Chain A
Amino acid sequence: MAGKENKINFKNQTCGCLIDDLLRGEDCREKDDGENILINPEAEKISHQFYLRHLTDGLPIIPPTEERVLKFLENSNRKGDDLIAALPPRMGKATVEKIAVNAVMAGCLPVFMPVVENSINGLSMGRFNLAGLNATTHPVAICTIVNGPIIKEIGLNSGAGCLGPGSLANATIGRAIRLCMLNIAGAVPGVGDHATHGSPAKYSYCFAEAEEETPWGPLNVERGFKCNTVTLMGVEGPHNVNDHRSTTAEDLLDTIAHTASTAGCNNSHVPGEILVVMSPEHSGALEKQGWAKNDVKDYLHQNMTVPVQLGGRGGRKLDSKWDIDGKVSITRSSEDVVLVVAGGPGRHTMIAPGFGAGSQSVTVPF
């Protein structure tokens, strides 16, 4: 109670005018040019207001004040009003400032800005087919894979739990990208995003490759870069491959191939890319037996197949050119196997089928 009595009600306080002025009959309300003290708006209130206006993913946000946004712009090499792309389906303009606003809301740190803005740049490229990905009934999400020195600089997780909770950078970068889809692209569920069920992967889906663990060289180098990169892929949420017992490379890869060879994925009727996130223990075991990265990709491409009668049940008609002796490969070539190494101890691999032939991954150097 004592605390309540001590609360100051600013509205009922004296106006601050001098007594002489008041005696002269001057209207203090008109004259008062008192000092304004700026305070940050209450996060709870702004979160609720933004939620009611369909501007969030349902989780609380950090209020995007100008001061906060300016700190993000200081971490960009571009100007705030530079246009990166108009994002479908709404064709909203993704300026650097709008991306920064959404990154603030997501809880990013200003130093994450280069990853977020280069990701938006990548997914706006034609071959990524954002118009299809954002609107589809399929639960495809945008996965962001980071390579390069920035991993350590901003604390991205490439180890244990890298696809799960617990890392500020992983969690908020993926979320910032999703908020850009909601607010700039207009990919609002039921309005511009028609995913039948959606996916938990649409909240956040960002991780770094374990570059010091991979026996084969990281993804950015494979794609011709030595600098920082973001690789954007349109893929389903990850599915686990548990293999603790295989002692030969073929047996281990057969487990992965079998798990990936499912009739219900888009790749079964329009073959395309698949993401394979191999744990260091799995990749190490393969390397120990003399398997190079291309050997692994070739083997998976050749063995990830589904029977034609099952593959032909998807949304689009299976082109007869993919029917090889009654089987369809879920990838068009070994290049479609996007293989990275990440994760902590344990003999697990994660796989995530793509959107099929309708979307191609993009790697952006920065």
Chain B
Amino acid sequence: MSVKLVEREVLSPLGDIETKKRNLNPFPDDFETVALLDNTKPGADVILEILKDSLGKRKFLDVKKPAGAPATSEQLKKAAHSDLAILALGDCGSCTSWIVLDAIRLEYMGTPTISICSDDFIPFARELASSHGLNDLRMLEVQHPIAGLSHDEIEDKSLKIIPALRYLLQIP
């Protein structure tokens, strides 16, 4: 009889993932009310103001939310009283997490969303959205960095994403 030395197998330390794919809320054909969620990161207010100006005459709901932590249920309820919610700004790890996760919470509540993140954090934002089953969560990317820039520099970067915003919303 032969004798074989067989190495014991090792177990994988990776946690299994079970993601149920979810659908996004469609944008309405026309929309009257837009919620602007500002997480108070430097420049978020400037970006939202530029985007607001590009959307013409509509009703806007200004909502402040924490940066590295979840929006409160009151903040989300206020934002959900809209036809569309735009969230800014994901330009760091925790703030990107909670831009994306709060956008997902709003999608669950029936409100379509657009998340604004800097290009350095967009890959993470997309991975995070996919982990929650929303692979196609709508995002627009501004050039990193935003923090530490002047108002004019942030305005320049914000204007560059207007065409993509108008395309997403099918505004001629």
Q: Which residues of A contact B (CB under 8 A)?
A: 10, 13-16, 32, 34-42, 46, 50, 55, 63-67, 69, 86-95, 97-98, 101-102, 105, 126, 129, 131-138, 179, 183-186, 191-195, 270, 315-317, 355-359
Contact = CB atoms under 8 A, between A and B. Distances in A.
Nearest to A132: B94
Nearest to B12: A101
A256 B19 CA distance: 47
A184 B5 contact: no
B6 A132 contact: no
Contacts of A105: 13
A10 B7 CA distance: 14
B92 A136 contact: yes
Contacts of A193: 93
Contacts of A358: 66-69, 94
B164 interface: no
Contact of B13 (A10, A89, A98): A98
Given A132-B94, A135-B93, A355-B68, A39 B13 contact: no
Nearest to B40: A317
Interface residues of B, number: 43
Given A15-B2, A133-B94, A90 B15 contact: yes
Nearest to B15: A92
Contact of A91 (B13, B68, B95, B132): B132
Contacts of A137: 92-94
A113 to B, nearest CB: 15
A176 to B, nearest CB: 10
Given A40-B8, A358-B68, A132 B3 contact: no
B2 A16 contact: yes
Contact of A185 (B15, B16, B18, B19): B15
21 contacts: A32-B1, A32-B2, A36-B4, A38-B8, A55-B13, A90-B131, A92-B16, A132-B97, A135-B94, A137-B92, A183-B13, A184-B14, A193-B93, A194-B96, A195-B93, A315-B42, A316-B41, A357-B66, A358-B67, A358-B68, A358-B69
B39 A89 contact: no
A91 B9 contact: no
Contact of A93 (B17, B42, B95, B97): B17
